[in-house]
């Protein structure tokens, strides 16, 4: 059967400023938390250094130099037929330290030109305010988002850009994948979500709940303010949804999956409902956590609920309590562990490929919130081979096609209200998790390797023409 997408469906592509722009110290930009992350590798963690060290390689400093290539890149996006392009504003281009009163005009002017170029080519900008790019100074001086001062700094930054681009940008998101930090154990996520580095002696979970709640308060304030700046703004949250299935039908496995999922839903529950969920309040009380919030902040949460739920979807997971299975421990649920799902395959980076999990997620989230949904990231990171100036990437086409089919089924069979789809890394970019260039997602290849060598030349992959066809037809066969 053929399924048609709504005429208004936003087919697009997504990136983040720090993963594409480069020009890390150009036109007055300050150092961001992404600028002190070295290159890791497949299975090798990136290092977070104290300041910029002379003998380290920082892949985001140049990235794919989108800062100077955006004109030609946008021509390729236009040729693809994109209706929307999701990127972020690098906070430290606008406020180099994050705590200034006055913004940096050169940074503001850059995004004027970027948005003007997109609009002139019929492409709607979809903008994330904080995509792992907090000014480094806000870590050095204030210790990141565990400090309530960052709420005001973020609101000031958001107000500045929302006023400046009020006639250019309609779709906004506040904090990218705010729930990555949910388990609080990994430096990578507490750092990139919150500019926080925890000590072994810290109660990691308590601190990361505090940072997350502060971000949720900041986000709600920005939603309310944004609506005053322009009532037509659509302001959403941005979640990483990784559905975690019960590995078996043992009732304890089912319960473990609910618990693990709630820990990640915590963030969108607040974004959407404007209140701290009972399961969290109960948990904090039992553990004796002293999470700080005032009545004024609770009112702000209520007043600034989001218009839509934006999310990324790459993979699913599974959890079990069965003693005979091996898996990774979950700090909060001593009897449960994360295990591989024997029914799905994984990518070269171990990400489990599960298109039906996307339909499942669309259903569960739509039922939970009854708000429009927007898939703002989905894609397949893979090693591509350049042969004779061509890149044949049938694996990427297969991954995306299967996910798009499930998305179509969620719309037509399940009645889900889906605004659009902006696959991740429309053009090859620096991987967030590993810092590699060779974990590629793009429909457009960029000639650059993991060590930073290459001409930065752009080249269309096979997936380019395939995606162009999907957008032009605006329908799929399932
Ligand atoms: P890379 C975990 C689960 C799902 C998405 O990731 C995630 C993560 C974090 O590792 O991150 C998002 O580049 C993120 C992007 C990122 C993209 O997924 O590690 O929003 O910035 O590039 C893909 O393969």
| SS3 at position 40 | coil
Q: Is 191 in the pocket of ligand 1 (CB under 6 A)?
A: no
pLDDT of residue 57: 98
pLDDT of residue 260: 94
Give me the helices (H) in 274-314, please.
278-287, 295-303
pLDDT of residue 333: 80
Orientation of helix 66-80 relative to helix 105-120, angle to 10° = 20
pLDDT of residue 296: 98
Q: What is the DSSP letter of 46?
A: P
CA 381 to centroid of ligand 1, rounded, Å:
10
CA-proximal residue: ligand 1, atom 17 (nearest): 432
Q: Is 366 in the pocket of ligand 1 (CB under 6 A)?
A: no
Q: Which residue is it, tokens 């529950």?
A: 269
Q: What is the DSSP letter of 55?
A: T
Q: Is 432 in the pocket of ligand 1 (CB under 6 A)?
A: yes
Catalytic residue among 215, 377, 401, 436: 377
pLDDT of residue 185: 77
Is the pTM of the predicted complex or chain greater than 0.90? yes
CA 432 to centroid of ligand 1, rounded, Å:
6
CA 13 to centroid of ligand 1, rounded, Å:
15
- Extended strands (E) in 386-463: 386-387, 390-391, 418-421, 444-446, 458-460
| Spacing of C-alpha 203 from chain mean position | 26
Taking the CA of residue 441 as reference, the ligand 1 atom at the shortest distance is 24
Domain boundaries, the chain: 2-243+263-316+344-477
pLDDT of residue 44: 94
Q: Tens-of-pLDDT digits for all 478 residues of the chain?
A: 999 999 999 999 999 999 999 999 999 999 999 999 999 999 999 999 999 999 999 999 999 999 999 999 999 999 999 999 999 999 999 999 999 999 999 999 999 999 999 999 999 999 999 999 999 999 999 999 999 999 999 999 999 999 999 999 999 999 999 999 997 778 999 999 999 999 999 999 999 999 999 999 999 999 999 999 999 999 999 999 999 999 999 999 999 999 999 999 999 999 999 999 999 999 999 999 999 999 999 999 999 999 999 999 999 999 999 998 889 888 778 789 999 999 999 999 999 999 999 999 999 999 999 999 999 999 999 999 999 999 999 999 999 999 999 999 999 999 999 999 999 999 999 999 999 999 999 999 999 999 999 999 999 999 999 999 999 999 999 9
In this structure, CATH architecture of domain 2-243+263-316+344-477: Alpha-Beta Barrel (3.20)
The answer to whether 434 touches 46, Cβ cutoff 8 Å, is yes
pLDDT of residue 52: 98
pLDDT of residue 332: 74
Q: Is 182 in the pocket of ligand 1 (CB under 6 A)?
A: no
Orientation of helix 149-164 relative to helix 204-229, angle to 10° = 30
Q: Is 352 in the pocket of ligand 1 (CB under 6 A)?
A: no
Specify the pairing of strand 337-339 against strand 328-329: antiparallel
The answer to whether 260 touches 330, Cβ cutoff 8 Å, is yes
pLDDT of residue 223: 98
**Phi, psi dihedrals of residue 120, rounded to the nearest 5°:** -65, -20
**Phi, psi dihedrals of residue 292, rounded to the nearest 5°:** -90, 125
Q: Name the β-bridge partners of 126.
A: 86, 171
The answer to whether 375 touches 308, Cβ cutoff 8 Å, is no
Q: Of 64, 7, 32, 81, give the one whose Cα is nearest residue 470.
A: 81
- Token readout for 469 is 């066809």
Distance CA 329, CA 320 (A): 10
CA 63 to centroid of ligand 1, rounded, Å:
16
Taking the CA of residue 439 as reference, the ligand 1 atom at the shortest distance is 24
Q: Is 177 in the pocket of ligand 1 (CB under 6 A)?
A: yes
pLDDT of residue 317: 96
CA 433 to centroid of ligand 1, rounded, Å:
6
pLDDT of residue 324: 83
CA-proximal residue: ligand 1, atom 15 (nearest): 432
Pocket test for ligand 1, best of 177, 352, 429 (most atoms within 8 A of CB): 177
Determine whether 159 is an active site residue: no
Q: How far is the CA of 248 from the CAs of 189, 262, 264, in angstroms?
A: 29, 19, 21
């Amino acid at each position: 059967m053929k399924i048609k997408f709504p005429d208004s469906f936003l087919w697009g592509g997504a990136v983040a400023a720090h993963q594409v722009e480069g020009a890390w110290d150009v036109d007055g930009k300050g150092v961001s938390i992404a600028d002190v992350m070295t290159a890791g590798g497949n299975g090798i963690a990136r290092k977070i250094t104290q300041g910029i060290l002379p003998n380290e390689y920082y892949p985001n400093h140049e990235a794919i130099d989108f800062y100077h290539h955006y004109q030609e890149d946008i021509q390729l996006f236009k040729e693809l037929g994109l209706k929307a392009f999701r990127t972020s504003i690098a906070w430290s281009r606008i406020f180099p330290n994050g705590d200034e009163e006055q913004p940096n005009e050169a940074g503001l002017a850059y995004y004027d030109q970027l948005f003007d170029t997109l609009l002139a080519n019929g492409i709607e900008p979809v903008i994330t305010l904080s995509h792992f790019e907090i000014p480094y100074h806000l870590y050095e001086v204030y210790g990141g988002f565990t400090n309530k001062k960052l709420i005001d700094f973020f609101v000031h930054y958001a107000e500045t850009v929302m006023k400046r681009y009020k006639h250019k940008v309609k779709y906004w998101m506040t904090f990218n994948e705010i729930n990555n930090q949910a388990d609080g154990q990994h430096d990578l996520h507490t750092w990139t979500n919150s500019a926080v580095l925890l000590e072994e002696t810290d109660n990691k979970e308590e601190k990361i709940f505090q940072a997350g709640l502060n971000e949720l308060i900041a986000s709600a304030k920005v939603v309310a303010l944004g609506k005053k700046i322009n009532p037509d703004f659509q302001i959403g949250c941005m979640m990483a949804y990784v559905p975690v299935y019960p590995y078996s039908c043992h009732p304890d496995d089912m319960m473990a999956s609910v618990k693990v999922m709630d820990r990640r839903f915590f963030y969108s529950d607040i974004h959407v409902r404007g209140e701290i969920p009972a399961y969290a309040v109960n948990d904090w009380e039992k553990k004796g956590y002293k999470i700080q919030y005032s009545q004024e902040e609770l009112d702000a949460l209520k007043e600034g609920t989001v218009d839509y739920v934006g999310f990324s979807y790459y993979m699913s997971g599974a959890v079990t309590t069965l003693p005979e299975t091996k898996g990774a421990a979950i700090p909060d649920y001593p009897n449960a562990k994360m295990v591989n799902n024997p029914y799905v395959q994984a990518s070269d980076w171990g990400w489990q490929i599960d298109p039906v999990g996307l339909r499942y997620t669309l259903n569960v989230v739509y039922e939970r919130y009854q708000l429009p949904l927007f898939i703002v990231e989905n894609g397949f990171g893979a090693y591509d081979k350049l042969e004779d100036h061509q890149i044949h990437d049938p694996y990427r086409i297969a991954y995306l096609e299967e996910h798009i089919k499930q998305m179509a089924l969620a719309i037509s069979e399940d009645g889900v209200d889906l605004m659009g789809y902006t696959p991740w890394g429309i053009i090859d970019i620096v991987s967030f998790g590993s810092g590699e260039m060779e974990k590629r997602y793009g429909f457009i290849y960029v000639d650059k390797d993991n060590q930073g060598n290459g001409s930065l030349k752009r080249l269309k992959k096979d997936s380019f023409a395939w995606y162009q066809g999907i957008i032009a037809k605006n329908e799929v066969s399932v």
